[in-house]
Amino acid sequence: MGSEKMSDLEERGSSYIAPVDSPRIAVLWMVFGSVCFGTMNALVKWTSFHADVWMIIMVRSAVIAFAVAIFATSRGLSLKVSDKRTMLLRCVVGLIAMILYFTALGRIPIGQAVTLQYTAPLFVALLSGRVIRERVEPVVALLVGTAFAGIVLIVSPDLSSIDSDALLALGSGFFAAMAYMYVRELRNTDSASSVVFWFAAFSVVGSIFQALPDVAGLEWKTIAALIGIGIGAGGGQVGITMAYHRANAAWVSAFSYLTVIVATFYGFTLFNESLGASDWLGGLLIVGSGIALIFMAPPGDS
């Protein structure tokens, strides 16, 4: 679900020449990436009425695995895995995150699902002290607490009942955070291309047996949408990675939340979805805390 995009920055040869910073170009790339991811979310929403989650995951992952394999072959990049244990853990938690997220997209408004999935960076901040032994500053804990107040407003606006479907999206944010942390560990042993490829390949294997029985019954419109999901995910990763190439990471990261706006727009225009006051307030708390957290990142971790 986009967890690989930051690790692309780690794959550099000694002869690599960095491009000149250009904030305007970076923003354009980020807008492109956000539109791609937002469109992917809309396609997943539409496709969920015509195919199950397993089919969506299988085709999306197959498209990405195929594209990365061609790219790696053309560039002579190795897809060999050095840290097999961490790679397996990254694949497992990433697949769980994708299952939960795509299921939630089919059941709740797109804007709500994307907002809750974007809690992943906040979970990273909360868990990093325990999982990867990085210090968590008190102000970071405060921002995480503010964001979780926003989560409560979305998941349980009346504080008396819980929207179980919204919990699926929140769960995807948690498992995506775990995936991010494993990707962070893998940057020291495995290339970005191998991380992307093996996650996609693992997801194909993890969904193919559930999806294959329904392949013959797919209509051409559904097949086109499924392929579009893979293209949208790949385009989103390219756009955001290129944005990080052309501007300060902490600054440009804030624009990644455009995906929430794009996805919400699709929800309004294509699916006649509406969000309540608690959804808007909760979303503002989550997005605001996330952006503040990005700008507070230490320079070395940006």
Which sequence spans correspond to the domains of the chain? Answer: 22-301
Tell me the C-alpha distance between 93 and 96, whole Å: 5
Share of the chain above pLDDT 70, in %: 78
Please give the mean pLDDT across all residues of the chain. Answer: 80
- d(CA 274, CA 269) in angstroms, rounded, equals 10
Tell me the C-alpha distance between 38 and 59, whole Å: 18
Contact, 140 vs 296, CB < 8 A? yes
Please say if the pLDDT value at position 7 is more than 50: no
Spatial distance between the Cα atoms of 280 and 157, rounded to a whole number of angstroms: 11
- Three-state SS for 86? helix
Round to whole Å and give the CA distance between 203 and 224: 20
pLDDT, residue 160, reads: 61
Q: How confident is the model at residue 108 (pLDDT cuts 50, 70, 90)?
A: confident
Q: Convert the pLDDT of each residue in 132-171 to its tens digit.
A: 444 556 776 677 778 778 777 777 666 566 778 888 998 9
**Segment 49-78 mean pLDDT:** 92
> Which token pair is 257?
């939340």
- Determine the Cα–Cα distance for residues 202 and 132; give it in Å rounded to an integer: 24
Point out the least confidently predicted range of 108-112, 121-125, 132-136.
132-136
Q: Computed from CA positions of residues 202, 207, 212, 218, in that sequence, does the dihedral angle turn out positive or negative?
A: negative
Is the pLDDT at 1 greater than 70? The verdict is no
The answer to whether 176 touches 168, Cβ cutoff 8 Å, is: no
Q: Is residue 12's pLDDT more than 90?
A: no
pLDDT greater at residue 103 or residue 114: 103
Query: Rounded to whole angstroms, what are the CA distances from 184 to 132, 248, 282?
Result: 9, 19, 29
Q: Please tell me the distance from the alpha carbon of residue 79 to that of residue 190, in angstroms, as a whole number.
A: 8
Q: What is the mean pLDDT of residues 236-246?
A: 73
pTM for the predicted model, two decimal places: 0.78
| Helix (H) / strand (E) containing 299 | none
Query: Largest alpha-carbon pair distance within the chain?
Result: 59
pLDDT value, residue 295: 64
Task: Write down the pLDDT at residue 250.
Answer: 52
Pull the structure tokens for residue 284: 């503002």
Q: Give the integer Cα–Cα distance in Å for 148 and 170.
A: 10
Q: How far is CA 92 from the centre of its chain?
A: 15
What distance in Å separates the CA atoms of residue 164 and residue 155, rounded to the nearest whole number? 8
Cβ contacts of residue 269 below 8 Å, gap of 6+? none
Q: What is the pLDDT of residue 248?
A: 60
